[in-house]
Structure 1
Amino acid sequence: MGEFDLISRYFKRPVHHAALGIGDDCALLQPAPGTQLAISCDMLVQGRHFFADVNPHSLGHKALAVNLSDLAACGAKPLAFTLALALPEANASWLAAFAQGLFELADAHDCELIGGDTTAGPLNICITVFGEVPVINGRSQALLRTGARAGDDLYVSGTLGDARLALNVQQGKLPLPEPWLLAARARLERPTPRVALGMALRGIASAAIDLSDGLIGDLGHVLECSQVGATLQVDTLVQCIACYPGPIAGDAGGHIALSVEQWRTLALAGGDDYELLFTAAPHQRDAVAHAAQASQTPVHRVGQIDASPGLRLLDAQGQRLPNHYASFDHFA
């Protein structure tokens, strides 16, 4: 199978948003009047971001999901994406499953493939995604990292730490009964981009970021960009883990009992959550609740933004915890 046959067979589809899609040297996008383009790029590398034996259908889903999560953090509506794909071989069954997982998520968000590149090499997936955000009275409605203000509430969506829990199990660091492993592994391999929530938070949230490398590090980006500090209720965060802390009895009688510190580490420094962390003024609490309900996304208030720099971690009794948690860093 040649390169152009591969593209035509598995990835070429009619486009609706783009003025011109696959088949020319460039794709052409025409943003709607009164909007800005939001653009993000992410790369997934075998052995770094996923295991060699990962289900290709799940990999196709995740490759696009991590990019859509960036659009969600900006409050952008997805439009289109490009795909650059390095393959060790042109395996027909692998490509069919990968493309199916990719396009199922793309179709769910009305986001179309408009171009890219393929080459032979170690498995590497690079997607660039394009979205749009409205501009009202000359002001962009994009959610940024720079808008957090002292006194704002701090929120996270969904659950945290489940993906890292699954990774720890796959690395042989701890056992987990099969039903809980399947649930956690789904969070690792098939994350849910919170696009609907991000769009619903336009005009409500003061700042936002998606949680890809762990809450500690990603929150740190918001605090640095906004030049503020924060107080985080750590044990409220722990309740945001889908696999509830404590002994878990499996169907086969298995169990897992992690320490409170281990659960805190999952929530604070787990990574691969692809949830949204955002801030909003206290008078916006009803609006946040409405956005969560409208987008069918659970949201938890987990702290507040402070004027004084730095991050303060508190336990359930309000006692200060040492901050020795570190998020993922490719070059650390």
Structure 2
Amino acid sequence: MITFEAVSKSYPGGGRAALTEVSLAVAPGEVFGVIGASGAGKSTLIRLINGLEKPSGGRVVVDGDDVAALGVEGLRALRRRVGMIFQHFNLLSSKTVAGNVAFPLRLAGVAEAEVKARTAELLARVGLTDFATKYPAQLSGGQKQRVGIARALATEPKVLLCDEATSALDPETTEQILELVSNLNRELGLTIVLITHEMDVVRRVCDRVAVLDGGRVVETGTVEAVFLHPASATARRFVLEADGAPSEAAMVDGRVVRLTFRGEATYRPILGAVARETGVDYSILGGRIHRLRETPYGQLTLSLAGGDVEAAIARFRADGVRVDLVTEAGR
């Protein structure tokens, strides 16, 4: 659905390029996350998809169209197929909720009867039927974002772009908006590109993720692969938990290992069983249980000492637990 082919983007007098040789492919119906720190190039990347920016080099192809090669009419047609929601909502303060949702339909010249029917349908989908006559100033942040989502869906797009769409929201509202985005992906088959600096957002809704650093893609893969076993320094900085930091590992005796559990194995009482079978003593240095979309996972950093440590590690692995070595005994 979306392809970046060695895309670079520079601005006159801007010094370092915003993007350098970025190559990515987003499949139809996929929720694709792009994560990076401020200044990594995330917003530039998303603006290339709907033609708000043009690449300095390479090509961006969306639904078969080379975006930079489109004329005015071609861009208008593309933007009807690519909806966008924003961090700060970008609602028209002088229009009601219904007026904001209807605005792109009226711009597209849709008949008024159809505009009203479509607006009502969209407000029902995002749970705002009773707010149709209110104005943005009367809404909470979460309600404003729901209006933004309904407006983005007005022209029945194939692609939905989310630019830091939950950054201005509290945790409970963020969870509600992410659930809504997930439902839209499942029910409408939307391809979603989600830009964020929050790793929990990617964990919650994305299928795959690209990690940006300094305008370059430093890692891509499934959310599971990148978040549980990050290969790049940037990804590790974002997603490795505080369990098993070198300062903690240096303070204990024994071999320090990181265990990763997935699915139902996350909840099995395996530590006690392994300790009894192998005579190993363990100390828990850190860890957490979380979810990757609907799949539970757990990560624990342990110090293993005494007994048969090799047998304990083999037993963990035989039970489907991934074991990564953090330090050897005495190091």
Bin the TM-score by the shorter chain: under 0.3
TM-score normalised by structure 2 residue count: 0.22
Greater Rg, structure 1 or structure 2?
A: 2
The structure showing larger relative contact order (alpha-carbon pairs under 8 Å, at least 6 residues apart) is: 1
Q: Which structure features the higher share of helix residues?
A: 2
TM-score normalised over the length of structure 1: 0.22
